[in-house]
Structure 1
């Protein structure tokens, strides 16, 4: 392609991760023409359940000729609109749906995807959370050519990102999205000029993630270590959150864990046993090590410090919290 012709792009994205790559494309209008942005429909949000547009829609509004929010990607009218835009590239980043093959074929050069892992590791819907839960020290982003299978196509380029010991989903997502933006605009010139060859993935090394469900946040004191639960607290904020069963006034309830840390020393008590530390925090024994509860949210209450929670429940030290392995909640 000669340098005078702008690359026409249809951009698919929804979440915060997809915002910096879109911003990077819009920042260079001499090279890239984002003709259409496709994002998820507005969803109810907040206590009032008012409709809210996606982060990508908010950025694209007024800056991109068309912002589409289709309920179905197989709608013939939607397909005709994409075909009429004659895109050189489809660029997909955290859109939230599988792109049908009929749409992939609308790209004159290639359909590209930005994925938040170093493929073939962590294909699927929750790669950032999976890296945190597994205790990875390094993850990254991949720019790949899309095919009919999920996160399966050949790799154009990758960039590694370190995972810090205090990283949460949001903090790691923010760094990965910036890395994705830099990778995209840094790789496109050579790719479009034919100087970069996409390399097939080693499919035998592929690992997979899935869409997280609320029950994934339910922890077991007897089956998980303090380190595993602490990583989940950081990985599953804000969704699905981490919670444990407990008994309030003799009734089953849930306790959400908002901030936790692994205690320096292990008590050796049976899993679920609660102790009060010198700092006034609740410490709970697990299958390996003890977990300090720095911030919690009892069901139906506002978030509070672990110390405030313990002051309101002075019967807890010395008792054992219920465990889903023995007393599953309905």
Structure 2
């Protein structure tokens, strides 16, 4: 089976590696990934995780800026049997999807039709789900819309963050893929139409999504945000000091405690000497570990001493 693999993010790496460990069955003739980018203060060149694996494995690597006629000609010349897509980061047009003999398939990090779109793993954590999974679909021109070929379920642990859950889901995706491909090749894997009435959608995550407003925040939502947005964009809040200085601060670790009768936004000191900010429903978020912008990470106690608020209860 001649395969072109489309992938960019960490989620896509184990599936590619699994294909490469079975060269007698799966012939990966090319990898398509997002172009290298200049990142950081020093504008250093950064390759995607999938690009790194492709180069290490001496695979043909294509990194088009656009899906243009030149790229389409290159793809067509490869005469692939199947395109596999996993966390590629770009919607593919119909002429790409329908090019291979067996079509194109996609590995998606949710139990479709739930959580279609760009951030299924983060959204599952944010919504307090207890389970999620990976769905293998036969692609059509709509996002995460095609018929389902196979699924696998993964439990979400109470302390799971984006990194830990993505790690398990990516390994589950790899297993699901190599198990399903032989059945797809001999056409014994029958696609099942999604129930589109049950579809829910996720959005691209922005930095501002992770900025806390203490007066309107829900404690459990904040706890989930910390886990869902680790490592990026990272939950942040604006802390006002005694001398009226605003300090943008990353919230690295927190615990939920009771705070009966206090107004949301009030800063209290717990019996452990830690600061806690009151939110809605008589709850407070105890700041266990934080990192002020431009500073080192520190305990909540050190933060309280170094950046005392105007009023402390």
User: Which bracket does the TM-score occupy, shorter chain normalised?
Assistant: over 0.9
**In structure 2, how many angstroms separate the alpha carbons of the residues matched to 1:293 and 1:107?**
53
Give the equivalent residue in structure 2 for 1:4.
none
Deviations 1:64-101 (A, max 9, x none): 4311111111x212111111111111100001111111
Give the equivalent residue in structure 2 for 1:147.
140
Q: Say which of 256, 271, 274 aligns to 2:250.
A: 256
Q: Which moved more, 1:231-240 or 1:89-98?
A: 231-240
Q: How many residues align?
A: 311
Q: Say which of 130, 133, 137 aligns to 2:126.
A: 133
CA positional deviation for 1:272: 1.3
CA positional deviation for 1:261: 1.8
Q: Say which of 98, 106, 111 aligns to 1:113.
A: 106
CA positional deviation for 1:280: 2.1
Give the equivalent residue in structure 2 for 1:293.
287
Give RMSD over aligned pairs.
Answer: 1.4
Change (3 A) 1:182 1:317: farther
CA positional deviation for 1:241: 1.6
Give the equivalent residue in structure 2 for 1:302.
296
Give the equivalent residue in structure 2 for 1:325.
none
Structure 2: 5+ residue runs without aligned partners?
none
Change (3 A) 1:9 1:252: same
Does the alignment pair 1:50 with 2:41? no
CA positional deviation for 1:126: 0.4
Structure 1: 5+ residue runs without aligned partners?
1-6, 320-330
Change (3 A) 1:205 1:307: same
Give the equivalent residue in structure 2 for 1:103.
96
> Does structure 1 retain, via aligned residues, the 8 Å contact 2:267–2:309?
no
Deviations 1:123-156 (A, max 9, x none): 0000011000000000000000110000000000
Give the equivalent residue in structure 1 for 2:268.
275
SS of 1:245 mapped into structure 2 = strand
Give the equivalent residue in structure 1 for 2:5.
11
CA positional deviation for 1:190: 1.2
Map of 1:1-330 to 2, 5 A cutoff?
Answer: 7-73=1-67, 75-248=68-241, 249-263=243-257, 265-288=258-281, 289-315=283-309, 318=312
Q: Which moved more, 1:59-68 or 1:202-211?
A: 59-68
> Does structure 2 retain, via aligned residues, the 8 Å contact 1:268–1:285?
no
SS of 2:223 mapped into structure 1 = helix
CA positional deviation for 1:242: 1.2
CA positional deviation for 1:316: 5.4
